[in-house]
Structure 1
Amino acid sequence: MTKLGALEDTDIDLSIDEGEAGERRASELANRIRMVAAQDPLLAQDLVEELIVALDRAMDGTIRDHLDGPARGMAERVLGESDPIQ
């Protein structure tokens, strides 16, 4: 008989709800940005800045309301350099 080992909760990739699915997608995106940063930090910085601008546009200019600390400071800097939302 083949011994399969213990099954962990993390081995099952089922979302409980849409919120959890969104968190998993966000986590995967963060992991991919980290992988890019390990290879090319400047490219990763550019990607993050472009993502902040795109999210701000998608959120009608309210991304700052959802950030605090260093993330908010970075958004303020990046968005101060970008075109205002039309």
Structure 2
Amino acid sequence: MPKLRKSGGVNTGADSHSPYLSDPETSQSFTPKPPTGSAPRPPMAPKVPTSTPPRPPPTVPGGASHPIISNLKNNLRPSSIAS
């Protein structure tokens, strides 16, 4: 079982003084700064009309509001020539 290095990683055999370890871009831990300004306000919602809401369409006393639907309700039995 490989022994762990003191820094916490597994010893891979790489040199500890390799040139890529001294790269200034990767050696510093760069964290982006949080924004200093506040976020823009969201747009306002449209105003609700103050007039009364529209009335629903009148319904037919049979319960069907459309003639095609009423025709479907009248023809509950399938029509067939052969019986």
Determine which structure has the larger helix proportion and give its number. 1
Q: Over alpha carbons, which structure has the higher Rg?
A: 2
What is the TM-score with the length of structure 1 in the denominator? 0.18
Q: Using CA pairs below 8 Å that are at least 6 residues apart, which structure has the higher relative contact order?
A: 1
